[in-house]
Structure 1
Amino acid sequence: MLHLRVIAPAELRNPILNVLQREPGVTHIVLHPNAAVEPAGDEITADIAREAANDVVERLKSLDVQNLGAITLEVLDTVLSSAAYHAEDAADGDAADAVVWDELVARTRDESQLNVTFLLFLCIACLLAAVGVLTDSPVTVVGAMVVGPEFGPLAALAVALVRRRMSLARRASAALLIGFPVAMAVTAGATLGFEALGWVELTSTRELHGVDFIFQVGPFSFVVALLAGAAGMLSLVSAKSAALVGVFISVTTVPAAGFAVVAATMGDWDIAAQSVAQLAVNLVGITIAGVLVLAVYRRLQTAKESGGRRSAGV
């Protein structure tokens, strides 16, 4: 279930309570009159079955609560209440299949911000990938896959395309279009530094055998990117973080960027180009898969809402 907290002017008290009391998937409604100081107004809380959250939030937004006050949602891990069980049973659908769109937009917006933390993670991931290439170590390359933060902006881009949030699309695109060149430039400098220190001898990437799969672009590169993107979006929607780790390990997004840098440093421009192509295939494939998954969820939600209106005789 989700815990809802609403802060709103006192004149919206009855309309808000009416929205909550009319929804079978809502329970544990609590009113604190004039409890809010900034912005001034009432505090109203309730527990909502995940399946009912979209309808409730949309009705509250139609009252302009988000501008006059605030709407917050919090995931509840454990709820021991017969009323809560009845609310979940009364809600239409299954919690695991419910997409709370505002929650998804907020989550992906936070993970797609171009900030120092994002750049540091991306730089570290590219550096790990470069070290994995230089040492022909698949294990190190896998570590780079796990550390890479690029799925956040890709997921945000998919959400932005489906929900038509252009500001979110610009934010995610900026994180990718600025983040990768910066990380690759840092990696190039570090690679040349490793050579200057005598830690590695740069000859050719053509002699590598343990990590040569990174730059080998083929039809399965796109298939894997699609499957990984679909699994990643499903993990975000269902909040299954364990599945997301598997997504990181299955795609060669960051390793391709690292390989391109090392190959370019060694003068293997054809391999560097193939690595960049692998990077592009992964980025595009993951985004397309995310859009398709969300489009299916939106279609199912629309069909459910239409069925509900027909059942109500509307």
Structure 2
Amino acid sequence: MLHLRLITPADHTDEVARLIEKTVGTAHLVVLPGAARDPVGDVVMCDVAREATDELLADLRALGIDRTGAITLENIDLSLSDRAEQAEKDAPGEGADAVVWEQLADATHEESTLSLTYVAFLTLATMIAACGVVLDNAILIVGAMAVGPEFGPLAGFCTAAVRRAPRLALRSLTALLVGFAVAMVVTVGFSHFMDWQGLFSDAQLGSDRPNTNFIYRPDAFSFIVAVLAGIAGTLSLTSAKSGALVGVAISVTTVPAAANAAVAFSYNEYGQAWGSAEQLLLNLLGIVLAGTLTLLAQKWLWARQRSKA
């Protein structure tokens, strides 16, 4: 269940309350007349089953509540109520299959915005991965994958493509491209510094590296794994199972590929640099393609399921 809190103009409160009452999957309706001060209005609260949320939000926005008042949605960690259980049973479909598009757009908004924090995390992850590729240390590679925040902009781009939101798509693409560009440039400088300190060497980079040479040797599995990870990552976002994102992060080689390309470029190893760049592009393409198709499939399946209800 999700908790919905509204601030409504007094002349719209009864209409909003009637809308909530007739929406299948709602419970615990509370109306507090005159309780809101900024903006001035009434406070209306209710709990709503996840599978009924998207339609209710669309109806509320059609009434202009997002412009004349406010709409706030929160997750409920625990609800002990027979009425809430009945509301979830009455709502068509399964909550885990429902996509709350407004919530998804909000979740990907912050993660797909170019910010100092985002660039810092991506740069640090790339530098950690640089240490991993030079030392041929798989543990460092996995750690760098987990630190990298690049799935946020990728998910934001997929969401924007499905919702036909060019501004969100541009913001996500900007964060992705600028973030990787800055991270790789800084990692080139980091490589030169580590070489100057005697910690990195061309010999290390050019050795067999059995644990990490897959990074600059892309093959069919590079794309296949990226597609599978894109599906898993998208499902984890739409079903609010964010714990799966860690597994998604460490199953694709976007950050390690960027790191290997930067280190290889610093040593004029252009063959490795190109192979790593190809690996990076294959992973990004696979994730975007899979994420977009997954959202489209969820949208179609949910619409079909609701039409049968």
Structure-1 residue corresponding to 2:6: 6
SS at match of 2:243: helix
Structure-1 residue corresponding to 2:255: 254
SS at match of 2:80: coil
Alignment of 1:95-244 (within 5 A): 95-203=95-203, 205-207=205-207, 208-244=209-245
Q: CA–CA distance in 2 between the matches of 1:269 and 1:163?
A: 39
Structure-2 residue corresponding to 1:312: none
User: How much has 1:47 moved relative to structure 2?
Assistant: 0.2
Task: Give the counterpart letter for 2:170 in structure 1.
Answer: R
User: How much has 1:171 moved relative to structure 2?
Assistant: 1.0
Native 8 Å contact 1:7 1:42 kept in 2: yes
TM-score normalized by the length of structure 2: 0.97
Structure-2 residue corresponding to 1:88: 88
Structure-2 residue corresponding to 1:272: 273
Native 8 Å contact 1:155 1:290 kept in 2: yes
- 1:268-310 residue CA offsets vs partner (Å, 9 max, x unmatched): 10110110011011111101100111011110122133334xx
Deviates more, 1:243-252 or 1:146-155: 243-252
User: How much has 1:216 moved relative to structure 2?
Assistant: 1.1
Native 8 Å contact 1:157 1:169 kept in 2: yes
User: How much has 1:149 moved relative to structure 2?
Assistant: 0.2
Question: What residue ranges of structure 2 are gaps of 5+ in the alignment?
Answer: none
**Residue identity (%):** 45
SS at match of 1:41: strand
Q: CA–CA distance in 1 between the matches of 2:299 and 2:240?
A: 17
TM-score normalized by the length of structure 1: 0.96
User: How much has 1:33 moved relative to structure 2?
Assistant: 0.8
Task: Give the counterpart letter for 1:269 in structure 2.
Answer: Y
User: How much has 1:89 moved relative to structure 2?
Assistant: 0.5
- 1:24-48 residue CA offsets vs partner (Å, 9 max, x unmatched): 2001000111111111111100000
Q: CA–CA distance in 2 between the matches of 1:304 and 1:142?
A: 39
Task: Give the counterpart letter for 2:307 in structure 1.
Answer: S
Structure-1 residue corresponding to 2:25: 25
Deviates more, 1:82-91 or 1:190-199: 190-199
Runs of 4+ more than 4 Å apart: none
- 1:81-132 residue CA offsets vs partner (Å, 9 max, x unmatched): 0110010011001111111110001001111111011011000100011000
